[in-house]
Chain A
Amino acid sequence: MNEFHFSFVDLLLSGLRLSTPLLFAALGGLLSERAGVANIALEGFLLVGAFSAAAVTYLSGNPWIGLSGALAAGAMIGLIFAMLTVYAKADHIVMGTALNLFVVGALPLFNKIFFGVTGSTPSLELDQRLSVWFLFFVAVALSPLIWFFLHKVPFGYHLRSSGENIEASKSLGISVKRTRLIAVILAGMVTALGGAFLSIAHGSQFSRGMSAGRGFIALAALILAGWRPIPVILTCILFGLADAAQIVLQSYPLPDGSTLPVQWIQMFPYIVTLVVLVGFVGKTEPPQAIAKND
């Protein structure tokens, strides 16, 4: 017989923690999409961040160096995505899908090269990991910072106008391509922090598929928040709570003492995502020039 302990506070805390990677990814997506680059490659960005953070932390023994490694790798993958979409003018959605597939295929190879196995990086010691709450507060603090960046800094103006009206931006001498390139590199860096959360704060290693669709859930949170940096905190927490509830429900006892099949319960966050998307897509307005190439 299962003993079931349920504490609302625990659920809440766990939800907040789990919202962290979503928030990083959603903010990354925001930077990219507000600049006009549709970004379904967030999933790949997360995995790259997770792997590089874990690998560099293990090799250096220092999570801060690991975090820097994640930022650098995030910038790299952002650069690649920007080259494909902004400069090679490929379709953003097709390229996002391709990049995700590429990352899923390439990371085990890197893992094999560095650590001899394809599945996961070696486990980190407890003192080699970062505080979950530290990263949570970084993510939350980043939101108003990005708002400020978008609304008070010239580059933020250019970023928004590039995502809204390409012709108008160009007529004012703004280089839409360069602006988007920088925005997507920043998106890669921010999202990679979410990956680092998964592998060196919340978890203790990188393992295959550990992002578990969070890049896409973050995208849903972004849409729900109308691509705005402050509301996105709340929508990410909503999805974080859904994720936490899923974990709690896994041990929820049914009257006969058994539990619900895990597979069903694990669907919960995704079902929430689906419901939200069906209900809200089209109700919030995306940047007008999203996915359009200059």
Chain B
Amino acid sequence: MSSLILEAKGITKRFGNVVANDRVDLSIREGEIHAIIGENGAGKSTLMKILYGMIAPDEGQLLVRGKSVHFESPLDALSLGIGMVHQHFMLVERMTVLENFILGSEPTINGIVDEKSALQDLKNLMLEAHTELPSSSLVKFLSVGQQQRLEILKLLYRKSDILIFDEPTGVLTPQEVDQFLKSLRDLKARGKTILLITHKLNEVMAVADQVTVMRAGKTVSSLAASSTDVKELATLLVGREVRAFDERKVKSVKKLSGAPVLKVESLSGVKKLKSVSFQINPGEILGIAGIEGNGQHELVQMLSGVKVHSHSQGASIQFLNMKIDQWNVEKRKAAGMACIPEDRHHEGLILDFNLVENFYLGSRVHFDIPTLLPFKEVTALVEKSISDFEIKAKSPFSKARELSGGNQQKVIVARELFGRPKLLIAAQPTRGVDIGAIERIHDELLKRAEEGMAILLISSELDEILSLSDRVLVIRNGEISAEFSDVAVQGPDLRYEIGRAMV
């Protein structure tokens, strides 16, 4: 095989008393796709940030093409051809595609940006990468998949030949994921070396040559992808056996009586949503499948009360027989609604607040004196959540920002379930969450549903929809394009049909 292009030896990184990386060793061969997997908080992102020069290790050594290197900043890594596509994109939303493409390495003529040659470079690279982006549109108008492709183009423009991807597929639609995996193979064919962090083992099996497993800050094993399978990886990752994603844990199909928990009638939004009607019964899990950006976001906002509209004729939202169209978020929460929003950084947490504060802010209505922070009580609740959901946090007073992505998600789930809601709106509840924790969250959702909680599950992950829902609606262009009942019985057989209704 080819030579080692990147090596990490004995890398240790501590944050206070948390050891994020504990004497980590990693060897990457030139031209391979190397997957790195591990539970939430295992230290994957930290290791990548070290390889990219974003943070400096406390101990250990990095070697690039056999030479020991020391990175002061990402620029040093970039100059050695190491580039990274971050979990949260590094794009300037209010600058154009072209501007972002060249930002920091602008070509100039007499001190003035040479837009012509930049545009030519962009077009050439787009052609090579079989992709098309509107060069003069602002980045904020791009879809997530397009933004990611721009990030890749940026790296190619900067002549990176070691590309690091931190959970690149978490935010993509199934189609985009396929396209992305294909582009990884393309990149590999062009001689690039790729490091890929993901929680999705089927992606690993689909593209990776080599897999390194991290657990609790250590690399526990590194094996050739051809010599392993999903089951073995899952076991290595969690340290115990997990049930595969598509093995449905059948909920005892017990029909709960009573009026529908939620009844939505011809609800229309201002952006996408067009006359959507459905209802959810107690104990029912209603899945909303669909490619992201087809009105799901607006639906969640209108149901949770973040956006209140009263324009459309005949539209109504009834919750437990109460007309709640005009209610604000707080009132809806107090009445027994809860919501896991899809974007944990913008809608779910205040990153600079600690966990106790974040927990309290989201569950304020459930405490007796809703204006004073019941400090001890909330702290105890957060401690309980931390142990119940195996959240990896230093203490209840850690800032949300200091938690790894998946652990942030678990904090939100714990908080939203705390008030014993009668209806949970769960939008992408397991995005970025490791497979062990997905199992934990899914079990909890199923248990709550058995106890009578209704769940509106919005997910772009078809596997997740299929393994939890009793009934599935497909949303397309803001409209319900298909309905499938008895999902529990028909299960996987519906996959193809649902997929077809999505496009």
CA distance A288 to B91 in the complex (A): 12
If the complex has contacts A167-B90, A168-B91, are A173 and B104 also in contact, measured as CB distance less than 8 A?
A: yes
Chain B nearest Cβ from A227, distance in angstroms: 10
Chain B positions within 8 Å of A165 at CB level: 90-93
Does the CB pair B92–A152 fall under 8 Å? no
User: Pick the contact of A164 from B75, B89, B95, B105 — CB < 8 Å?
Assistant: B95
Alpha-carbon distance A160/B93, docked complex (angstroms):
11
Please name all residues of chain A whose beta carbon is closer than 8 Å to the beta carbon of B93 when the two chains form the complex.
Answer: 164-165, 288
Residues of B within 8 A of A2 (CB): none
Report Cα–Cα, A165/B103, bound state, in Å.
12
| With known contacts A165-B90, A167-B90, A160–B95 Cβ distance under 8 A | yes
Contact B92 A164 (CB under 8 A): yes
A171 close to B54 (CB less than 8 A): yes
The distance in angstroms between the C-alpha atoms of A161 and B101, with both chains bound, is 12
Check if A160 sits within 8 Å of B113, measured CB to CB: no
Interface of A is mostly: helix
Q: Is A154's CB under 8 angstroms from B99's CB?
A: no
Contact call A157/B113, Cβ cutoff below 8 A: yes
**Interface centre among A165, A171, A173, A287, by most B CB within 10 Å?**
A171
Within the complex, the shortest CB–CB distance from B319 to chain A, in Å, comes to 30
Q: Is A90 an interface residue (CB 8 A)?
A: no
Instruction: Looking at the assembled complex, report how far the CB atom of A166 sits from the nearest CB atom of chain B, in whole angstroms.
Output: 10
Give CA–CA (A174, B90) in the complex, Å. 13
* Cβ contacts B80-102/A at 8 Å (1 or 0 each): 00001010011111110001001
Min Cβ gap A182→B in Å is 15
Inter-chain CA distance A75–B63, complex, in Å, is 45
- State which residues 382-432 of B face A: CB under 8 Å: none
Residues of B within 8 A of A167 (CB): 90
User: Is B258 part of the contact surface with A, judged by Cβ < 8 Å?
Assistant: no
- Cα–Cα distance between A157 and B103 once the two chains are bound (Å): 7
Please tell me if the beta carbons of A171 and B112 are within 8 angstroms of each other in the complex. no
Cross-chain contact of A172 among B54, B89, B103 (Cβ < 8 A): B103
Residues of A with C-beta under 8 A to B92: 160-161, 164-165, 168-169
Q: What does the 1/0 interface line of B291-318 toward A look like (CB < 8 Å)?
A: 0000000000000000000000000000
Question: CB-CB < 8 A to A158: which residues of B?
Answer: 103-104
For B105, list chain A residues within 8 Å (CB): 172
B94 touches A164 (CB 8 A): yes
The range of chain A's interface size is 20 to 34
A153 is an interface residue with CB less than 8 A from chain B: yes
Known: A161-B92, A164-B93. A174 touches B104 (CB 8 A): yes
Min CB–CB distance B487 → chain A (angstroms): 41
**Contact across chains for A154 and B113 when beta carbons are under 8 A apart:** yes
Determine if B194 is an interface residue (Cβ-Cβ < 8 Å): no
CA distance A55 to B108 in the complex (A): 42
Residues of A close to B103: CB separation below 8 A: 157-158, 161, 168-169, 172, 174
Assess whether B106 is interfacial by the CB under 8 Å rule.
Answer: yes
Q: Which residues of B contact A169 (CB under 8 A)?
A: 92, 103-104
List, in ascending order, chain A residues with CB within 8 A of B104's CB.
158, 161, 169, 172-174
Q: Is A112 an interface residue, CB under 8 A from the partner?
A: no
Give the distance to chain B from A293, nearest Cβ to Cβ, in Å: 13
Q: Which residue on A lies nearest to B76, using beta carbons?
A: A173
Which of B90, B92, B108 counts the most A-chain CB atoms under 10 A from its CB? B92
Give A147-160 as 1s and 0s: 1 = Cβ < 8 Å from B's Cβ atoms: 00000111001101
Contact A288 B113 (CB under 8 A): no
* Docked CA distance A176–B91 (Å): 15
B153 to chain A: closest CB distance in Å? Answer: 13
- A171 and B89 CA atoms in complex are apart in Å by 10
Instruction: Verify B73–A173 contact, CB threshold 8 A.
Output: yes
Q: Considering only CB atoms, which chain A residue lies closest to B104 in the complex? A: A172
Given A157-B99, A160-B92, do A173 and B113 touch, yes or no (CB 8 Å)?
no
In chain B between 39 and 95, which residues have their CB closer than 8 angstroms to a CB of chain A? 54, 73-75, 78, 84, 86, 89-95
Contact with B along A169-196 (1 / 0, CB 8 A): 1111110000000000000000000000
For the complex formed, measure the closest distance between the CB of A156 and the CB atoms of chain B, giving whole angstroms: 8
How far, in angstroms, from A173 to B90 measured CA to CA in the complex? Answer: 12
Beta-carbon contact of B94 and A288 below 8 Å? yes
Pick the residue among A164, A173, A288 that contacts B78 (CB under 8 A).
Answer: A173
Judging by beta carbons under 8 Å apart, are B108 and A154 in contact?
yes
Query: Cβ of A160: which chain B residues have Cβ within 8 Å of it?
Result: 92, 94-95
CA distance A164 to B102 in the complex (A): 16
Per-residue CB proximity of A249-264 to B under 8 Å, as 1/0?
A: 0000000000000000
Whole-angstrom distance from the CB of A89 to the nearest CB of chain B?
Answer: 15
Among A153, A172, A285, find the residue whose CB has the most chain B CB atoms closer than 10 A: A172
Q: In the assembly, what is the distance between CA of A47 and CA of B74, in Å?
A: 42
Name A148's closest neighbour in chain B (CB-CB): B112
In the bound complex, residues from chain A placing their C-beta under 8 Å from that of B113 are 152-154, 157
- Beyond A161-B103, A165-B93, A285-B94: 13 further Cβ-contacts under 8 Å? A153-B111, A153-B112, A154-B106, A157-B103, A157-B113, A160-B92, A164-B94, A168-B89, A169-B103, A173-B75, A173-B78, A287-B94, A288-B94
A contact residues vs B (CB 8 Å cutoff): 152-154, 157-158, 160-161, 164-165, 167-174, 285, 287-288
Closest 4 CB pairs of A and B: A172-B104, A173-B75, A168-B90, A154-B106
